[in-house]
Structures are given as structure tokens and as C-alpha cells.
Amino acid sequence: MGCFRLISLLLVLHIAAVASRSHNIRLEGNGYTNLVIAVNPGVPEDQNIITKLQDMVKSASDYLFSATRHRFYFKEVKILLPLTWAPVNYTKGRTESYEKANVIVAEPYLKHGDDPYTLQYDECGQMGQYIHLTPKFLLDDTMIGVYGPRGKVFVHEWAHLRWGVYDEYNEQKPFYISMDKKAEPTRCSKDISGSTGALSCKGSSCSVETCTIDPATSLPTENCKFFPDKNQNTATSLMFLQSLSSVTEFCAETTHNSEAPNMQNKMCNYRSVWEVIRDSEDFKGSTSMTTIPPPPKFTLIQQSDRVVCFVLDVSGSMSGNRLKQLQQAAEIFLRQIIEEGSWVGIVTFSSVGNIVKELTLIESDASRIALVNKLPTTANGGTEICRGIDKGFEVLRKDDAKTDSDEIILLTDGINNTPVNCLAKVQESGAIVHTIAFGESADKILYNMSSDTGGLFFTALDQVDSTSLIDAFAAIRTSDGNLTKQSIQLESSGQKMKAKDWFNGTVSIDKSVGKDTFFVVTWETTMPDMYVRSPGGQTYENVNFTVEASFGTARLNIPGIAQTGAWTYSLYNTLTTIQSLTMTVTSRAADANVPPVTVNSHMNQDTSTGNAPMVVYAEVKQGFLPVVHANVTAVIETETGIRTTLQLLDEGGAPDLVRNDGIYSRYFINLQNGRHSLKVNVQGSNGTTRLAVRRQGRAMYIPGYVKDGKIELNPEKPPVNEEDLQLNLGSFSRTTSGGGFTVTLDPNAQPPSFPPSRITDLDAELKDYKVFLSWTAPGEDFDQGTAESYEIRMSTNFEELRNNFSAGLHVNTQCLSPKLAGSKETFIFSPKEIPIENGTIIYFAARANDNQSLSADVSNIAQASMIMPPPTEIDSINITTIVLAVTGSVVAICIIASTTMCILKRKKCFSA
């Protein structure tokens, strides 16, 4: 691929451990196992959903086997049913959960269509997050006429999920000018034939009219659609139109359309889908089968009541402030986070394990207080994690004699006194183990315990002004998919306060939350003066708080549904000495039928050796709809207290893939040895932050087909109600822990040095015989700082620029000074070497350089063209392409030639 190869840093990133649900899937021989499909608890019980899922996967297995040239099939599949469905002798689940399922079945929020889609936001070749199918897609057979057979649709989405490939269509750019100066539909392969037409709908009645050409772009206007022929002579491609009966394969080198302006070309450096699959670890570790694979085996499992056991370290090293911080965080979990209907037990351990509280049903405030009263108050002895684990399992078995799907929250601050020999027992238990490493001395085995059981891993900073321990407990929420039951963390802040000083803050409560709202204050030595003021002006003071003096906590419970708007708080340190104070605010959904705004965050790797940058991701959404234009900040802390703050962006510049899709990201390059914690804060602004539609990773909705020379329309796709999307979310506050991760640097190696990030949104336009280029500025080190310079090259030959960037004509950028990373760059110039005339097509690519002579990967290829359409409207277009005639008067040609000569003589460089 010449200069379009991925540099070694990104190759390392490709094989690193990534926080993705699809990593739980295993490839055994040629068959995929441990594929989990989970049904959302909000989906009404319907046995037909189970049947349709089984039929879909059976069919998909056959299609997959054929499409991968006898390489892969689906071997074992688990279907996880919600607790809200009546039990029918289903198997009890083990470590499976809705939130970690590979495929989810759930209603769309605000009824924005039933498009199957895969959530993916990482590099090409990286696994996606999950596939989302709606009940209507599974149950309504009219959907087959629109999307194609369900099995083929599932293979399309599976390729997104497992192999990290992208779509070969582009709804924003459905047509493009090809190298032979023709307007082509964006597709793969170019062998797919069809007709174009302008779809016009009035009410429920739709018709197809003749397309018109936009004179500014020489492309069909926005309402022009491509209607494929129902009967085709090509087998590619499943990532474009899986609905066509003839399409059964992925585009390969010989069939790939590298010119098409689609996400597959943009993200995968113009490689075909089959090339990406062939480079995957799945492909490299397998061979083609010589026999027909067996049908998939299905296991129906059902979620159960939530059962949790604390396993808490009370060894000598936990005494003092550590024990107090544990009490504060555990109390918040028991009083506010754990959901009603759950069961909780408490075990402590030091040199031995001790059952402190048997399983207790959370059914009232009294049951919560009973558990709080059993939290440890003393700490001494050694550290024997396995003895605590054994006692935890003993507690969990008290309800049904099993530990399957039960949870352990294990917290420790020290290294085990003897080798940890219970990891195999933990792995075989079927329990989910969440681990919290409290301080820098906590045993390294904790990460293995959580990752091997589907649990969460956290690092909590051993500092009294840190809220990281509270944040860790608050993040261990129910994973059954019912967002309206979950506790939502709105605020979490701590400060080391000077004597007689104020700690002030503001929390925005939006209309999606407000039930069970708590303001919780913790202190180091003495309770401060506390003031909380509602948007309506009501002030709450110390007398309104419930105080737990021995733990150093005070709690204000707002009755009913908390008023929407800005709540302010002020804490006054009454001491004449310094003390640390924290404020935590949690709430729940105000309406059981309206999902709250939520944020999920994680790093792209759980572990790093420093050979590749790490990426911070935060997904902000309401239901399944992205929330855009929010202010998102990540705070990363090492276990020794070194803090890095990053503003996460959703602007379309690397590492962000798509602008305004609700996925905010940033590279993390300040790598330090040891464990780190991630925390993300989100602020939504009234009138600015809004909902959006997810447009990427979806199976394409086909408006109709050409059959026997006539266009037959499918039912019109339900339109997006823009009023729904413009609903004012109001100002809101959210905070969440993104868990922990570990960096292990080679002590003998130089500190990591990274090049600028790849430009992924280069755009080009020809106007007034000038070239207008625009892109998002990368930084000196990936997306940090300011790059040293840009190298821009152009060519009239797409393949030449693609295969050998350095052979392209050099564009003079001496007058172009790079801007700060994330800024919008524009560059205007008049090309001297290429005359601009009717029929001119120029391709552009760019890369940034840093002050250490490190260069970024080459950008996407942008195209600028001057193709003048004929003066008359083009007739209805049949077959594949739209042929653009080059016409004009002699006078017009003379004017163009004269103007071009004048421009070519100009030497001034225009930039902005």
C-alpha cells in the first residue's frame, strides 16, 4: 500500500487488549463460541423473538461460511432473556450480562427506525462494541424486503463487530465523480447495476422522477437515489447491499472500489473488506474447512436477581484514613447505588476470612441501614485474599447453593502475604468479580480476577481529597439493561480545603433524572457547614442532612422529583487547619418510560507497554440516541497522584471517527508506569446540547429495486422527527468512572515519542479556479499540541497518489502555519502545475510532521473537480453510471483558458 500502510505503532494498537464486548467471543477451530445475544428487559415477552433469533443465526452461519470461503461459522450461541420474562426452565446465567452482550435486542428510543447497526468507534480492524437489533426487525417480515434476509444482515453486522470493517455506502455522499469523469453511485463493487431517480413522497404516496444535476458539484441533487437492479450478475458486496439475492461475498482486491467515498476506504486506507478480514487474528489462526459445519448450538439462559457480596480488606494497612474512605464509599453504595430487590452480604478478610452479614434483601431504608451498620470499624492482621474469596462464595451459595451470575466486590490495598492460589477457583465459579485496587501496593492479581470473570477493574487513589474510591463503588451498577433503575452519578468532586475556606460547586439536574436524589458530603476530621440551594431558591443546611459522624458522612435526600435546573452547594471548613472535603450527587430516572442521559467511558486498552498511544472514549447518549455538543472532560490519575486532564472531542479528527455521533475521544500519551484510574465529567448546556441520529455502522435501507426495467419502491423509511431531536435536553451534569488500566514501560527504553495523528477528514473543493482544502488539525504528538508543518501533495491520478504519496506533486505550504490540535484548518491556493478547466479532477492527500521529523500516516484522499453539466436537465438515468457530457461554447472555453493563465501566473499563496 506504499505510504498508506499503517505505521508500527498502530499495528501494536491493533493487537493490544481493547475494552470491547466482542473480546469475550472465542474462536474454537473454525467455530465461534460464547456469542451472547441479550434481550432488553423493556421488550415484552414473546417466544417468537427466540425463534426468530435462532433462525437468523442458523441462516447467518451458512452465509458466513460461504462468504469467508469455508473459514468460519457460528458454533455456540447463548440467548440471555430478561428477568421480566416468565421462567420456562431456562438455564441460570453465569458471567453473562446485558451490558456485556455482543448482540442486544431492544426498542429504539423515540422510534427512530429499525435499522440494524453495530456500534463501532475504533481503528480499522478493531472489534466493535455491540450489534443492536429491534424486535420489529426480527418479527416483521416486511423488513426482509427492505434489508434482505436476516441471516445476511447479521453477517453484515458481524463483519463490523468482529473484524472492524466499515460500510461501503455513504448516505451523505451517495454519488462521486470517478477517474473517467463520470458520476458514480458510491458502492462496492462497481459491477452492481441499477438506475437513478428522484424519490418524491406526498403523505403515503411516493413516485420516482428524473434526477437533476447540481451545477456546483456536477452530481445528482440530494433527493436522487440509486435503485439497484433486483437481478444482478455480481456476488459483491455484503458490506454494501446484503439485500440483493446474488450478493454473497465481501469485496476483495479484484472487486474493491477504492475510489468510492465511503467509510471502508476512509478508515481502512482504501483496502478491501476481504483484505482486512484476511489480516485478522481469526484468519491467521485458522484454515479453510473441507466439510460442512454443524448447525449452531443454542443455550437459553435467564438473568436472575442481583446478588452481591462485599469482600473487604481489613488488614493492618487499611487502618486510619483508608478504613474511613472505605466506610464512606461502601455506605454510599449501600444507601444509594444498589437497587431495590437486590441481595447483599458482607465479608471481611485479613489473615482470615469472616462473614459479617449474610445475604440481606434490599427492600427498605431499614435494610440498607442494617448493612451499613455492619461495615468494618477496625483493621489489623495480614492480607489473605483467597480466604476472603472463599467466605464470599460461602455467603453467595446461601440462596441457591450456586455462585453463578452472583457478584463479588473485592477491595484490597496490599500484596497477598502468600501466593494467590484461588484464581482458578474464581474463574470456574461462574461469579462476576469486580476488583478495586486501593493504593499503589494492591496485589497485581486483581486485574486478572476481574477480566477473567467479566467484572470491572478499578484503581482508587490513596488520598483523602480524592473521590476515586467513591466513584469506583458508584460505577458498579446493575447490568441488566434497565437504565431507569440505575443510580446516575451527577457530581463527584473533592478538595483539600484551607482553614476557614469555602468549597463551592454547581450541579445541573435535568428532566431525565430527579428521583432518589442525594447530596452526600464527606470530611476528613470535622463536619463542615453545608449549604445546598435549589433552582427555586430553597436552601438546605446542616439540620436537613442525615449525619453518620463515625464515618464522616452527611446525606441530603431531596424528596420526590428534584427540581430541574442549577443546584448550587457550598461547604465551609470551620477548622483552623486544612482538611479534605468531598461532594457526591446521585439520582435516578424521573420517569420509568424515559431513559436518562448516561455516559460510558473506557480506555481502548486495559494494559499498555508504551509502544502505542492509548485512547480515551466516552459515549454520551439518551437511550440509543447520541448526545452531541456536550463538554466532556477526562481526568486520568496514576496511583501516585499524577493527574492528566483531557478535553474529549467529537469533531471528526483522529482518534474521533465521525463528527457529532456522541462518541467523544482523545489520545492519552502521558504514559507513566503503574496503575491509572479514569474519570469522565460531562456538562450539557441548555440550548446547545441536543440529540442526534446514529448514522454509521448500519445495514442500508433500500428505497426500492429495478425489476423488468421498472422501479419498484419499498415502503418509505420512517422519517426522523427533527422536533424530537431538537427537544431541549436542558443543562445536565454527569460523572462516571471509566475503570482502571495499567502501564508497564521498559525501564531501559527512551520515553515514548509519537508522531502527529493521521488526518481523516481532508476535504477539497474547486471554486473560482482556486483549490479550497480543509481538515481538522492534528497535534505535535497525535492530537496534542501543535504540529511543526504540513506536507500536501496532489495528482490527477488517484491510484498514483494512493500507492505513492511522495510521487505526487508538492503543494507549497510555506505560508501555512499549523494551528493547535483540534482546530479547523483551511488552505486556499492556485495550482500551478495542473491547469484548471472543464473536466479537471485533482486528488489531494496530506500529512503533518513534528519537530522530531516524525511524520503522520497519510490522510484520506480528497477530490476536487470541475465537471460542467450540460445546460439541459439529464434524462432518467439507466444502467450504472451517469455520463457527463463536456460541452460549452468557444467563448466560454476562451474565458476559462484566459482566466486559468492569469491564475497560473500568480505566485501569492492564499491561506486562512
734-744 per-position pLDDT tens digit: 999 999 999 99
**Up-side HSE of residue 370: CA atoms within 13 Å toward CB?**
14
CA-to-CA dists, residue 117 to 36, 218, 261, 568, angstroms: 16, 32, 20, 40
Alpha helices in 197-313 (DSSP H): 263-267, 273-278, 281-284
pLDDT for res 178: 94
- The string of pLDDT tens digits covering residues 259-306 is 999 999 999 999 999 999 999 999 999 999 999 999 999 999 999 999
pLDDT tens by residue, 743-783? 999 888 888 889 999 999 999 999 989 999 999 999 999 99
Collapse the DSSP code of 39 into the 3-class scheme (helix H, G, I; strand E, B; otherwise coil) and give the result. Answer: strand
* Nearest-angstrom CA–CA distance, 134 and 113: 9
Q: Mean pLDDT highest for which of 482-486, 487-491, 648-652?
A: 487-491
pLDDT tens per residue, range 835-844 = 988 889 999 9
C-alpha span between 509 and 589 (Å, rounded): 11
Phi-psi region of 433 (alpha: psi -120 to 50; beta: other; left: phi over 0): beta
Give the C-alpha separation, 670 to 664, whole Å: 19
Q: What is the pLDDT of residue 20?
A: 56
8 A C-beta contact, residue 477 and residue 486: yes
Q: Which residues pair with 634 in a beta bridge?
A: 646, 680
Q: How far apart are CA 646 and CA 164, in angstroms?
A: 26
Side chain identity, residue 623: G
The residue whose grid cell reads 491564475 is 903
Burial of 671 (0-12, 13-18, 19+ CB in 10 A): buried
* Sheet with 770-776, side-by-side order of all strands: 763-767, 770-776, 824-829, 910-911
Q: Can you spell out the DSSP letters for 434-450?
A: EEEEESTTS-THHHHHH
φ, ψ of residue 793 to 5 degrees: the values are -130, 155
pLDDT of residue 732: 98
Name the residue among 100, 105, 16 with its Cα closest to residue 57: 105
pLDDT beyond 70 at 404: yes
pLDDT tens digits, one per residue of 168-210: 999 999 999 999 899 999 999 999 999 999 988 887 788 899 9
What is the three-class DSSP state of 110? Answer: helix
The model's confidence at residue 518, banded by pLDDT at 50, 70 and 90, is very high
- Distances, alpha carbon 226 to alpha carbons 264, 418, 872, in Å: 19, 68, 21
**In the predicted structure, residue 869 carries a pLDDT above the cut 70:** no
Q: Is the pLDDT of residue 248 over 80?
A: yes
User: Can you read off the three cell numbers belonging to residue 826?
Assistant: 483551511
Please report, rounded to a whole number, the percentage of residues in the chain having pLDDT higher than 90: 80
The pLDDT confidence band at residue 608, using thresholds 50, 70 and 90, is very high
Domain ranges of the chain: 2-171+237-302, 305-480, 763-911
Q: According to the model, what pLDDT value does residue 692 have? A: 86
C-alpha 463/C-alpha 524 separation (Å) is 11
- Higher pLDDT: 255 or 218? It is 255
What backbone torsions phi and psi does residue 450 show, to the nearest 5 degrees? -75, -45
Q: Does residue 784 register a pLDDT over 50?
A: yes
Mind telling me the catalytic residues?
157
Per DSSP (E only), the strands in 744-849 are 763-767, 770-776, 789-795, 809-811, 824-829, 840-849
pLDDT for the residue 643: 94
Confidence label for 875 from pLDDT (cuts 50, 70 and 90) = very low
Closest by CA to 650, choosing from 625, 668, 669, 626, is 626
Give the residue-averaged pLDDT of 369-384: 97
| 3-state DSSP assignment of residue 66 | helix
pLDDT at 110: 66
Determine the number of helices (DSSP H) and then strands (DSSP E) in the chain.
17, 53
Could you tell me which residue, 309 or 880, shows the higher pLDDT? 309
SS3 582: strand
Q: Which helix (H) or strand (E) holds 603?
A: strand 597-603
Segment 471-497 shows an average pLDDT of 96
- pLDDT category at 717 given cuts 50, 70, 90 is confident
Whether the per-residue pLDDT at 908 is higher than 50: the answer is no
| CA distances, 182 to each of 225, 470, 885 (Å) | 16, 61, 9
Per-residue pLDDT, 721: 63
Q: Which of 61-65, 408-412, 458-462, 884-888 has the lowest mean pLDDT?
A: 884-888
3-state secondary structure 129-184: CEEEECHHHHHCCHHHHHHCCHHHHHHHHHHHHHHCCCCCCCCCCCEEECCCCEEE
Residue 19, pLDDT > 70, answer: no
CATH of region 2-171+237-302: 3.40.390
pLDDT tens digits for range 62-107 = 999 999 999 999 999 999 999 999 998 899 999 999 999 999 999 9
Give the per-residue pLDDT at 866.
87
Cβ atoms of 586 and 518 closer than 8 Å: yes
168, 133 contact by CB (below 8 A): no
* pLDDT level of residue 722 (50, 70, 90 thresholds): low
| C-beta separation of 212 from 177 below 8 A | no
Quote the CATH superfamily of domain 305-480.
von Willebrand factor, type A domain (3.40.50.410)
Residue type, 562: A
Do residues 822 and 780 lie in contact, with contact meaning Cβ atoms separated by under 8 Å? no
Residue 528 scores a pLDDT above 80 = yes
Instruction: Tell me the per-residue pLDDT of 546-578, one tens digit each, with 9 for 90 and over.
Output: 999 999 999 999 999 999 999 999 999 999 999
Q: How far is it, in rounded angstroms, from Cα 808 to Cα 423? A: 57
Cell of 883: 455520463
Cell numbers at 322, concatenated: 483508608
One CATH from 2.60.40.770, 2.60.40.10, 1.20.1090.10, 3.20.20.450 for 763-911: 2.60.40.10
How sure is the predictor about 899, in pLDDT bands with cuts at 50, 70 and 90? very low
Q: Give the pLDDT of residue 572.
A: 98
Is the distance from CB of 274 to CB of 253 less than 8 angstroms?
yes
725 pLDDT band, cuts 50/70/90, is low
Residue 489: per-residue pLDDT: 98
Handedness of CA 164, 168, 169, 172 (dihedral sign): positive
Whole-number Å distance between alpha carbons of 570 and 362: 32
Q: How large is the average pLDDT for residues 782-788? A: 96
The per-residue pLDDT for 714 is 86
Q: What is the b/e burial string over 867-889, where b = at least 16 CB atoms within 10 angstroms of the residue's CB?
A: bbbeeeebeebeebbbebeeeee
- Residue with the larger pLDDT of the pair 424 and 722: 424
Integer CA distances (angstroms), 615 to 12, 24, 127, 801, in order: 13, 21, 15, 29
CA nearest 783: which of 665, 666, 635? 666
Composition of the chain by helix, strand, coil, percent to 5: 20, 35, 45
- Label residue 871 by pLDDT band (50, 70, 90): low
The lowest-confidence range among 11-20, 465-474, 512-521, 626-635 is: 11-20
Cell of 551: 464515618
- Tell me if domain 2-171+237-302 and domain 305-480 are identical in fold: no
- For the chain, state the CA radius of gyration: 29
Average pLDDT value over all residues in the chain: 90
Contact yes or no for 509/515 (Cβ under 8 A): no
User: Grid coordinates representing 750?
Assistant: 527512551
> Rounded to the nearest 5°, which phi and psi values hold at 134?
-100, 155
